[in-house]
A and B are shown apart, each in its own frame.
Chain A
């Protein structure tokens, strides 16, 4: 009994540390990949091949001036990065990295994911609103409207997966993909989910959160020190979460021949992450009215159509 509990505790701590480690090194990976895409080297001076760069960044951020803007609502100003960080990392509680490597296997995991990840909007909105800065406030409103608009197509695309799996538990969903990955049965759902999730994580074609040339970094303008660092970590954790979700829902999770489950899972996650970086290096930013129209007038009807057709086909074939 006690051995059991200690084992579980160790598992939780190990999973959390591994996630934080991956998030730290994802920042380095992205910067180096972007460097290669732009025919330059990226950060390669700190440690062998730049491997100690994330640690150096972390230490630097910790010792920076910890400032709060004049007239800012300081409680919310400090609370916002914490909300962002916690909301994203809590989602990892239900991600199954392999058949046994997960923190908990909730029977309503998909609902849990939607609920917790939506709370991340509060971090962005409160961060911008409380900084007493016009650019931050504008950026926060934009980002919040964008995130809630793309959440609906994302959730509807997942409903297509739920029809096929008949269960909301992520472990069951991965087990149901032993034979055929859901990307084959739900290609439209996959595309909708991929687009919506890159809008949720505010990746480049949709990065209205930052808009460095018109909003001077949006809601983050007034943040410095580790408060900025937490937003930064939350952003990369969100990308990791998006890669994990795509792997779990559409790419068969840890399923795969010969190699161990964990290797398969992280290979797929890495491939999806690389795709995100590739897209960031390739596409320019959209216009804001195009972005909103694309979600409401195109993705949402398409997601409904996809859902209904999947339902009819599943019932007809059953």
Chain B
């Protein structure tokens, strides 16, 4: 079979299994539940608010940095498998590319984007 077809069949198998397990436990599991049981567990306290969870800006900065570096890794992969044939030219090119990235990296470092404690 073609590689993509095998992959497709396997994907169907995995997704099918996952959905089947969830459905099975839905039909086999006990019910009904009391209302008390469905209250979120917060170590015995009654939850004060629902669905209003703020989060620290630092997570956002980490996500931004991640996007930058992750996209660049795709370029690095393509370069990595052909660097042997490209020789010195490919090497210099990658040094310039990584150099530009390092400027951004050092900037983020100095500005405190990589520091977690405030």
Chain B residue nearest in CB terms to A172: B81
Given the complex of chains A and B, what is the CA–CA distance between A156 and B77 in angstroms?
9
A155 to B84, CA, bound (A): 19
Residue from the list B1, B3, B35, B116 in contact with A4, Cβ < 8 A: B1
Question: Are A82 and B18 neighbours in the complex by a CB distance under 8 Å?
Answer: yes
0 or 1 for each of A169-209: is its CB under 8 Å from B? (1 = yes): 00000000000000000000000000000000000000000
Q: Of A64, A104, A141, which is in contact with the most chain B CB atoms at under 10 Å from its CB?
A: A104
Complex: how many Å from CA A219 to CA B3?
36
Chain A 1-25 interface mask (CB, 8 Å, partner B; 1/0): 0001100110011001000100000
Q: Return chain A residues, CB-CB under 8 Å to B117.
A: 289
**A318 at interface, CB cutoff 8 A:** yes
Q: Are B30 and A315 in contact (CB under 8 A)?
A: no
B interface size (C-beta, 8 A) = 69
Cβ-based interface call for A110 (8 A): yes
Contacting pair A151 B70 (CB below 8 A):
yes
The B19-70 residues at the A interface (CB cut-off 8 A) are: 19, 21-22, 24-26, 28-31, 33, 35, 37-43, 47, 50-51, 53, 55-56, 58-59, 62-63, 65-66, 69-70
- Given A168-B77, A293-B116, A311-B91, A64:B51 Cβ within 8 A: no
Q: Contact: A67 with B77, CB < 8 Å?
A: no
CB distance from B105 to the nearest CB of A (A): 8
User: Known contacts being A85-B18, A132-B50, is A314 close to B83, with CB within 8 Å?
Assistant: yes
Hey, which chain B residues are within 8 Å of A162, CB to CB? Answer: 77, 80-81
Contact: B50 with A71, CB < 8 Å? yes
**Quick one: which of B4, B7, B62, B84 contacts A145, CB cutoff 8 A?**
B62
With a cutoff of 8 Å between Cβ atoms, the chain A residues found around residue B22 in the complex are 78, 81-82, 226-227, 230
A-side contacts of B94, CB under 8 Å: 308, 311
Q: Interface majority SS on A: helix, strand, loop or mixed?
A: helix
Tell me, rounded to whole Å, the shortest Cβ–Cβ distance linking A184 to chain B: 19
Q: Write the nearest CB–CB distance from A79 to chain B, whole angstroms.
A: 10
Q: Contacts A82-B22, A90-B14; is A12 near B77 (CB within 8 Å)?
A: no
Nearest residue in B to A129 (C-beta to C-beta)? B53
Which of these, A9, A68, A297, contacts B38 with CB under 8 Å?
A: A68
When distances are taken between beta carbons in the complex, the residues of chain B under 8 Å from A155 are 70, 73, 77
Interface residues in chain A, defined as those with a beta carbon under 8 Å from any beta carbon in chain B: 4-5, 8-9, 12-13, 16, 20, 61-71, 78, 81-82, 85-86, 89-90, 93, 103-106, 110-111, 114, 118, 129, 131-137, 141, 144-145, 148-149, 151-152, 155-156, 158-160, 162-163, 165-168, 216, 221-222, 225-227, 229-230, 288-289, 292-293, 296-297, 300, 304, 307-308, 311-312, 314-315, 318
Q: Which 3 A-B pairs have the closest CB atoms?
A: A226-B25, A66-B29, A289-B116
Q: Can you report 6 A-B residue pairs in the complex whose CB atoms are below 8 A from each other?
A: A82-B18, A93-B10, A134-B53, A222-B41, A226-B29, A307-B80
